[in-house]
């Protein structure tokens, strides 16, 4: 077992040495990759923006992979296992967001968002869980959102996809718990990443967002990475099928 400090004085035990992060070239995904790599975990990034043998945050392997394609995900997982070793951790962070009212939402855009966030998580779970079940241990964290519970005006497709992720996580957790594998989710509120800041009117909306949050600010990547690492590590070994809200008090379901 390796006990490594997380920078806040807390010890986060991580006993397995290989992780996969889908969407690991993005804001939260990239933060998770950096945190895992900093703990000595050999980390593979699966992302459309990734290619080559080195990547963000000290990743050991980066693979150009469209998580909407089950064959591509399965092939990438097989390569990670062959090149880096047995997979102990999976973080499903691939996702996209856009905004439009339901009555104006292009069905193709609805499908795109759902396929990346929900289908992509399913394809990763389907490819990785058998490795973990065979070994009798493993930990998975999928990224959801507070909007999955609260609803997202002009973002129904994103909220629906993430609500599906939460149901998928709970169902998978029930299936693999007896095998020693845990599956949880983290549901952030607004976080300062390109997914949020790339909206043209983000700065105009930022102050209103911050005022709506009891803790008085929009989240940062590190606010989310900490709970993800906790759920991956052995300090949470009796937690599975849970959705952890990380939102500064914006949502208390």
Distance between CA 171 and CA 228 in Å, rounded? Answer: 19
Sequence-distant (6+) residues with CB within 8 A of 61 are: 42, 43, 44, 45, 53, 55, 79, 80, 83, 84
Give the alpha-carbon dihedral of 202, 58, 55, 21, to 10 degrees: -70
For residue 63, give the DSSP letter.
E
Neighbours of 134 (CB within 10 A): 12
The rounded distance, in Å, linking the Cα atoms of 21 and 50 is 11
Which is nearest to 141 in space by CA: 236, 65, 58, 59? 236
Buried b (16+ CB within 10 A) or exposed e, 190-207: bbbbebbeeeeeeeeebe
Selecting among 89, 152, 158, 202, the annotated active-site residue is: 158
How far is the first Cα of the chain from the last one, in angstroms, to the nearest whole number? Answer: 35
Region for 57 from its dihedrals, namely left if φ exceeds 0, alpha if ψ lies in -120 to 50, beta otherwise:
left
89 catalytic per annotation? no
Active-site residue set? 158
């Amino acid at each position: 077992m390796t006990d490594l400090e997380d920078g806040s004085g807390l010890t986060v035990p991580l006993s397995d040495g290989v992780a996969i992060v889908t969407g690991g070239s993005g804001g939260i995904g990239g933060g998770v990759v950096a945190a895992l790599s900093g703990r000595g975990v050999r980390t593979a990034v699966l992302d459309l923006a990734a290619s080559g043998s080195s990547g963000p945050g000290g990743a050991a392997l980066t693979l150009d992979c469209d998580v909407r394609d089950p064959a591509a995900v399965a092939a990438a997982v097989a390569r990670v296992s062959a090149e880096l070793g047995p997979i102990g951790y999976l973080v499903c962070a691939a996702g996209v967001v856009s905004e439009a009212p339901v009555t104006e939402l292009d069905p193709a855009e609805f499908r795109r968002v759902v396929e990346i966030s929900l289908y992509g998580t399913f394809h990763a779970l389907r490819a990785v869980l058998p490795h973990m079940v065979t070994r009798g241990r493993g930990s998975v964290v999928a990224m959801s959102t507070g909007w999955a519970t609260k609803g997202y005006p002009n973002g129904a497709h994103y909220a629906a996809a993430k609500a599906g992720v939460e149901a998928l996580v709970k169902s998978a957790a029930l299936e693999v718990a007896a095998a020693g594998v845990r599956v949880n989710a983290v549901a952030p509120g607004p976080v300062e990443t390109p997914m949020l800041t790339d909206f043209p009117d983000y700065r105009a909306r930022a102050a209103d967002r911050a005022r709506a949050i009891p803790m008085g600010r929009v989240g940062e990547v590190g606010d989310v990475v900490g709970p993800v690492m906790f759920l991956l590590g052995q300090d949470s070994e009796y937690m599975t099928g849970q959705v952890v809200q990380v939102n500064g008090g914006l949502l208390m379901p």
